[in-house]
Amino acid sequence: MVHDSTDNPDDRARKSPQAATNDTPPAGLAAPDVDPATTGGDDEDDALLPDILEESGAVGEEPLATGHEAIERAVRLAPTSPGVYRMLNANADVLYVGKAKNVKKRLSNYARQSAPQPARILRMIAATVTVEIVSTNTETEALLLEANLIKQLRPRFNVQLRDDKSFPYILITGDHWAPQILKHRGAQTRPGRYFGPFASAGAVNRTITALQRAFLIRSCTDSFFESRTRPCLLYQIRRCAGPCTREIDFGGYSTLVREASDFLSGKSHAVKQELAGEMEKASGELEFERAALYRDRLAALSAIQSQQGINPRTVEEADVFAIHQEGGFSCVEVFFFRTGQNWGNRAYFPRAEKTFTPEEVLGSFLAQFYDDKPPPKVILLSHEIEESELLANALSIKAGHKVEVTAPKRGEKKELVAHALTNAREALGRKLADTATQSRLLEAMATTLSLPHAPKRIEVYDNSHIQGTNAVGAMIVAGPDGFVKNQYRKFNIKSEGITPGDDFAMMREVLERRFKRLINPPEEGAKAKDDDFPQWPDLVIIDGGRGQLNAVREIFANLGLTQVSLMSVAKGPDRDAGRETLFMPEREAIKLEPRDPVLYFIQRLRDEAHRFVIGSHRKLRKKDIREAGLQEIPGIGPSRKRALLHHFGTLKEIERASIADLGKVPGVSAESARRIFEYFHPQPG
């Protein structure tokens, strides 16, 4: 995507933040969102500058002068061509990634000490000790590289796109005579037709379910399909045409697949007309059962479109972005329109300093958003961004077709943007309300537990195993914004000397691995952390009573940890929620009222840890089960195993089967069915 005469700077940048210095001058990345030479400062922020500079972590008596000197050194070596630059602090952490059409000119703007600059720029300069530069052939390449590196390095002073999960697609496969319909994420390597993106997995699942009712396309795997000797339950409830046992011929099934593809391709009106015609024809021929089938299929298609909400008349393919700012936060609402249908929306809350304008946040957000996603033909915005033409050119090159980036002023496109803006405003309102509630809960927790301050990071630990097998520990994290799922960790228990079922030893291994890594962090990957979120916990919560608490205190004492508050949560009699007992070092046991919000909050934390560790344990156990096949089920011999596989087709379908379904297999008694079911669905300890 970006290259120079000797090497690909994108590849070098991926390897190491310092890699670009090997054969090029010290380099950097993308242009600052505000030109420091022309933007006026904020009087209130300037008045706070001494405190701001102290927070920046810059060293020396005159950090601003030190930063200016570092930038001036880079200016002398900087090219006058397009490129990207990185500003680094004394710890080699990347502070800012920027791009410029003329890198030398842009860095010179930072070096002008006489020019008025906002406090955000001054904080960045004060912390800068090194500037690195990568040259690119064009400004378009610089823009693409800037977005890639911001996502990779997560610089403190850039707008950062968070919660950047891949979007799901619907895939109708093309490598089998009877195509399958399924949800797909990731690389689109399997032959077939992909339809999307959809905003969420829920939207895809609902659409697939309705499409099965409307077009009767199979969703089973190829191995399950090939092993069938009779139609499965989906055929009985009219969600599959039964091609596995030739309940429908090749031509008839191909027609269903074509209709489904046409519907997802935007020809929904023609498909509905065709089905309505078939229904009328069947009714006229007094074939009322066949007419009822077409009626149900039409109802399923109507259900899909009713769930989609607003469907534009004149917009075939577009993504709509609207941004709303309030209370120092930004929300970007994204709507996806494909084939004239609304395929869902999602709210993002990018990390950005309060001084960024909506246009600045939206411009940086868009470049990062499409770094790993195919852009549509039209991108509609709620605000005019400064470099819309440059962004459109970059996305057009990436997509291989013309991409239009515009902020519409009238018509249906303007209405779509207004609708997205309303959703952004409402989503941010909910976010602010949730944040305020979370903050009050943390303050109340600090008061109730006599903590020195409201915790900014809470870690909750739990273990799961079955008689000592497949033992796994887990850590969940919560903070002022709720659960922080990108900080969750699972720990496969590795120590060979642990007695099966020894929860104390398992917890010791988990905590030692976690805090030894925190005390001595690895060099690789350290720069990808979110600087705004603390890595050290203020409060550690474990499941158990006074004995578990004392064991953890001993572990912390051996590690030299004295600043972390500890608490254990013991279940109430008969494991009743609301009757828990809280234990803290050097304090009497704490019993809170069942309706106390703090107790409810602690229960949520504990339940989330339990949910996460159980999920991790089940994945580990299923992996072992699949590797071992049916060999480990006691009392199930070779003949029964063959009968099970012949009846269900795959091990996965045996896992899914109920006791009643297992009991229908020839040679499998009720007791054997129960034993098989319990093997696949144990109750973890």
Domain check: are 351 and 292 in the same one? no
What is the pLDDT, as a whole number, of residue 90? Answer: 87
Q: Domain check: are 186 and 67 in the same one?
A: no
Nearest to 580 by CA among 622, 614, 610: 610
- The pLDDT, as a whole number, for residue 86 is 92
Q: What are phi and psi of 663, to 5 degrees?
A: -70, -15
Q: Which of 303, 296, 238 is nearest to 268 (CA)?
A: 303
Same domain? 35 vs 139 = yes
CATH code of residue 25: 3.40.1440.10
pLDDT tens-place string over residues 564-616: 889 999 886 655 566 788 999 888 888 888 778 888 888 888 888 888 878 76
User: Bigger pLDDT: 306 or 440?
Assistant: 440
Interval 197-204 mean pLDDT: 81
The pLDDT of residue 59 is above 50: no
Q: What string of DSSP letters covers 583-599?
A: E-TTS--B---TT-HHH
pLDDT at 171: 92
Q: State both tokens at 337.
A: 């329109």
Position with higher pLDDT, 440 vs 647: 440
CB 248 within 8 A of CB 242: yes
pLDDT at 6: 36
pLDDT one-digit tens code per residue, 137-180: 888 888 888 988 988 888 888 888 876 667 888 999 988 899 99
- 121 and 59 in one domain? yes
Do 38 and 146 belong to one domain? yes
Domain span holding position 203: 169-307
Q: With cut-offs at 50, 70 and 90, classify the pLDDT of residue 498.
A: low
Domain CATH for 652 = 1.10.150.20
Task: Please report whether residue 142 resides in a domain.
Answer: yes
- 3 state SS of 518: helix
Query: What's the chain's average pLDDT?
Result: 78
Instruction: Return the higher-pLDDT residue of 281 and 221.
Output: 221
Ranked by mean pLDDT, which of 12-21, 292-301, 516-525, 675-684 comes out on top?
A: 292-301
pLDDT (average), residues 446-459 = 91
Residue 324 lies in a domain: yes
- pLDDT, tens digit, 9 for 90 and up, residues 618-664: 666 555 555 455 555 666 777 777 777 777 766 667 777 788 888 88
Q: What percent of the chain has pLDDT over 70?
A: 79
Q: What is the pLDDT of residue 443?
A: 92
Q: Which domain CATH number covers 538?
A: 3.30.420.340
**pLDDT tens for each residue of 352-390:** 888 888 999 999 899 888 887 888 889 999 999 988 899
Closest CA to 351 of 335, 363, 365: 365
Looking at the structure, tell me whether residues 114 and 260 fall in a common domain: no
Assess whether 301 and 196 both reside in one domain.
yes
Looking at the fold, whether 37 and 111 belong to one and the same domain comes out as yes
- Amino acid identity, position 611: R
Give the confidence band of 281 by pLDDT, cuts at 50, 70, 90.
Answer: confident
Say if CB 308 and CB 343 are below 8 A apart: yes
- The band of 39, judged by pLDDT with boundaries at 50, 70 and 90, is very low
Per-residue pLDDT averaged across 245-272, rounded? 83
Question: Has residue 685 been placed in a domain?
Answer: no
| Residue 290 covered by a domain | yes
Report how far residue 79's alpha carbon sits from residue 82's, in angstroms, rounded to the nearest whole number.
Answer: 8
Percentage above 90 pLDDT, the chain: 14
| 94 and 184 share one domain | no
**pTM exceeds cut of 0.85:** no
Residue 435 within any structural domain of the chain: no
Within 10 Å of residue 553's Cβ, how many Cβ atoms? Answer: 15
Examine the pLDDT at 55 and tell me if it is beyond 70.
no
Range with lowest mean pLDDT among 185-189, 201-205, 500-504? 500-504
- Which pLDDT does position 44 carry in this prediction? 36
Among 570, 587, 618, residue at a domain's last position: 618
Beta strand 539-543 with 489-492 is unpaired
Q: What is the pLDDT of residue 593?
A: 84
Assess whether 297 and 378 both reside in one domain. no
- Whether residue 623 lies inside any domain: the answer is no
For residue 496, name the pLDDT band (cuts at 50, 70, 90). low
In a domain, 92, yes or no: yes
Residues 507 and 583 in one domain: yes
Please say which residue of 428, 449, 471 terminates a domain. Answer: 428
On the CB side of 423, CA atoms within 13 Å amount to 21
Amino acid at 415: E
What pLDDT score was predicted for residue 299? 76
Q: Does 451 map to a domain?
A: no
**CB under 8 Å, gap of 24 or more: what pairs does 46-49 form?**
46/119, 46/122, 48/119, 49/119, 49/122
Q: Which of 275, 307, 339 is the last residue of a domain?
A: 307
Question: Cβ(366)–Cβ(321) under 8 Å?
Answer: yes
In total, how many domains does the chain have? 5
pLDDT for 497: 61
Among the residue ranges 177-191, 494-508, 667-681, the one predicted with the least confidence is: 494-508
Alpha-carbon distance 530 to 34, whole Å?
23
Judged against a pLDDT cut of 70, whether residue 18 lies above it is answered with no
Nearest CA to 30 out of 152, 115, 117 is that of 152
| Neighbouring residues of 555: CB distance < 8 A, sequence distance ≥ 6 | 507, 508, 511, 512
- 571 and 475 together in one domain: yes
Give the confidence band of 420 by pLDDT, cuts at 50, 70, 90.
very high
